[in-house]
Structure 1
């Protein structure tokens, strides 16, 4: 039966309040998982710093090469979440969902191989253009070569993780991510410094720690699918055959490739901004790193809201209720806006306090405090685009958002950054103006696209898989 709330979801505040708790139950574990993943990079950096400048530089450069490629393949396999979410909302057969996940696992294998080859070829080539000393460049290549061994396990973990996320049961995502963080931290110490009976491997040990951690997470996910009753019903390893493999692969790539391009465009924008910042000296680079790192830490919350929006919106679409999907997406966008106002206030009101958490260098603190004022505005638009992108993924709408974000970042943001920084001679602040402009255009386009999604046509775009 139709109700006023379903016809006009924006008019019923009670419905939003009722949705808030289920939304947070989905989002909070994902936020914790994202923070755990970010913590792995923090621990890697802290340990590398104790090894000396050469190891720190090698790992830093290797990580910057690794990250854009990582984000692309992460995005491709992120398509699993809306596929499973829509099937969950439609109360589809669990065994058929397990067959679909198995098909995507087979797809993840060649994707993992391609990912590894890109790191070993393109990545090693890019290191040659960094201007590192030969010994440091060789160390960065060795670190990256070990990291490449983790590509296939990472791809498999993404499939299993997003399969669980799509069901709305996100608690395991948190616990396995925390366990992966602990394994990575432990083996960082054991292998980088040679604690106990382990050999001292230096920067290369950091790569091995990552590989061991992701293999451990893969084992935990497989055990969960085998032993945890809600996932045993999926029959991931029990079903005798893969159903409609070519259809599953087609729909996964049709949804996932645009997501991968979105994440690659964003990662590339920030990587380019960091490289351009080097033109203004070491102090500018350090100050930029402080501002962008704190903004990235705060960004984990709205990013989690975006992932949760994919699940909640996708389930509503699968249930045949596009008006409910619209309400859930609006709630996610509103929650991100509220949080961004809080985090931006911290950056705007206490920039020096934040900067002093990172460095005692007064020159860096002074510039970082100024850049954090720009980061406050940056934060609002970044939170809005992340939550709106997540809601659109729940609608299985990824190609339109790809066009919006790639255009906003590279046809608006980057040109404005270059003009403001080097033509208008605004320096580091000019680069930040470009970042803000790109994110503002992306946020406006994505939010508008979601709000205008016609309720009668906001049906799933993965019929071949989700029926």
Structure 2
């Protein structure tokens, strides 16, 4: 945890320096109106206030979660929500004698909220058991092999998550050419599907912890039991919400729009989203399991293969060669996530067979 906080400070400095150097010319290159440029620049500067605490929070929260106190982390973040809302109100509209900052105030409010979160986590790990006994905020002299292991595990995980999430931004760029109604339908379906993704993501995070604990304790059978249980629960819950979505497609669309054409498009996109969610119900938990085994390179290469070597080229092919329109990119997302689920499943089977063989 101490080495994680050292790396957090180092990366924070890099992010802040990079923002100071590159953000102004980047925003200028976007051709923004002067007023919009001013708000965007200082909004990001306001967020910059929270870069250091945001990075420092991560290892502290991970300690709390890994020791099984995920509910405590949840309570801390829930407590921060009304504070953040209050700060937004005060700073955006200039209440309590403070200047009216408009959009810039939203960035400042978020930055301040991260400092509040850091203070709360610092109090938890220094005052409460079982965290207090570890003295994680004490001084540490950097140890080269610990830093190397941290980066060896952390960097592939981060890049894999980036490759998986960034593909949706790229897809949005290609869908933009089909007009505002298609864009609206795409965003509505994607937004709702992102909410549903919280289910498999939660299994992924939990499985990383429980599998990692059992594997680290050399209780390999316990790790396999958690693996099977997590996948079974994820698939069962997925079948339930996929069936509900299929039946309630029109009602889901009505949450976002009353435009009849957009509603019909959302209903079709939701069908593709359901297939994508089925693949994610397998792929996301297995990613968490493999991370629990410290097999992070597998998730990295799988994300690169599924989303950038398969998904994007297939989407372009279905669009420009077969004229499938905007649906081409949702079809390619389905193909990508199914490929991811298959490859990750094979990797998990091979890994567990190897571990079982080593046991014998």
Is the shorter-chain TM-score for this pair beyond 0.5, marking a shared fold? yes
| Residues in 2 aligned to 1:354 and 1:364: alpha-carbon distance in whole angstroms | 12
Q: Counterpart in 2 of 1:166?
A: 66
Instruction: Summarize the alignment of residues 200-349 of structure 1 with structure 2, pairs less than 5 Å apart.
Output: 200-238=100-138, 241-242=139-140, 245-349=143-247
The change in CA–CA distance for 1:197 and 1:132 in structure 2 (over 3 A counts) is same
The two structures have a TM-score, normalised by structure 2, of 0.93
| Residues in 2 aligned to 1:271 and 1:128: alpha-carbon distance in whole angstroms | 21
| Residues in 2 aligned to 1:443 and 1:409: alpha-carbon distance in whole angstroms | 12
| Residues in 1 aligned to 2:148 and 2:244: alpha-carbon distance in whole angstroms | 45
The change in CA–CA distance for 1:224 and 1:262 in structure 2 (over 3 A counts) is same
The number of aligned residues is 357
Q: Does 1:177 align with 2:77?
A: yes
Unaligned runs of 5+ in 1: 1-100, 460-467
| Residues in 2 aligned to 1:457 and 1:323: alpha-carbon distance in whole angstroms | 10
Once the two structures are overlaid, the 10-residue window that deviates more, 449-458 or 413-422, is 449-458
Once the two structures are overlaid, the 10-residue window that deviates more, 101-110 or 244-253, is 244-253
The change in CA–CA distance for 1:256 and 1:112 in structure 2 (over 3 A counts) is same
1:226-247, Cα deviation, whole Å (9 max, x unpaired): 1112111112235xx5266222
| Residues in 2 aligned to 1:390 and 1:107: alpha-carbon distance in whole angstroms | 23
The change in CA–CA distance for 1:284 and 1:346 in structure 2 (over 3 A counts) is same
The change in CA–CA distance for 1:287 and 1:132 in structure 2 (over 3 A counts) is farther
Match for residue 151 of structure 1 among 34, 51, 71: 51
Q: Counterpart in 2 of 1:451?
A: 349
Query: Match of 1:303, SS?
Result: helix
| Residues in 2 aligned to 1:321 and 1:437: alpha-carbon distance in whole angstroms | 36
1:299, distance to aligned residue in structure 2 (A)? 0.8
Query: Match of 1:424, SS?
Result: coil
Query: Match of 1:278, SS?
Result: helix
The change in CA–CA distance for 1:119 and 1:328 in structure 2 (over 3 A counts) is farther
Instruction: Summarize the alignment of residues 92-131 of structure 1 with structure 2, pairs less than 5 Å apart.
Output: 101-121=1-21, 127-128=27-28
1:119-147, Cα deviation, whole Å (9 max, x unpaired): 45555555456565453244223222221
**Contact kept? 2:50, 2:113, Cα under 8 Å:** no
Q: Counterpart in 2 of 1:66?
A: none
1:349-394, Cα deviation, whole Å (9 max, x unpaired): 2111001112233332221121111111111112322111001110
Query: Match of 1:454, SS?
Result: helix
Match for residue 317 of structure 2 among 419, 432, 450: 419
Q: Does 1:352 align with 2:250?
A: yes
Q: Does 1:191 align with 2:91?
A: yes
**Contact kept? 1:104, 1:248, Cα under 8 Å:** no
The change in CA–CA distance for 1:260 and 1:118 in structure 2 (over 3 A counts) is farther
Once the two structures are overlaid, the 10-residue window that deviates more, 387-396 or 108-117, is 108-117
Once the two structures are overlaid, the 10-residue window that deviates more, 288-297 or 365-374, is 365-374
Once the two structures are overlaid, the 10-residue window that deviates more, 265-274 or 250-259, is 265-274
The change in CA–CA distance for 1:375 and 1:128 in structure 2 (over 3 A counts) is farther
Unaligned runs of 5+ in 2: none
The change in CA–CA distance for 1:123 and 1:398 in structure 2 (over 3 A counts) is farther
The two structures have a TM-score, normalised by structure 1, of 0.72
Query: Match of 1:230, SS?
Result: coil
Q: Counterpart in 1 of 2:39?
A: 139
Higher RCO (CA 8 Å, separation ≥ 6 residues): 1
1:114, distance to aligned residue in structure 2 (A)? 1.9
**Contact kept? 1:395, 1:458, Cα under 8 Å:** no
- Runs (4 or more) in structure 1 with deviation over 6 Å come to none
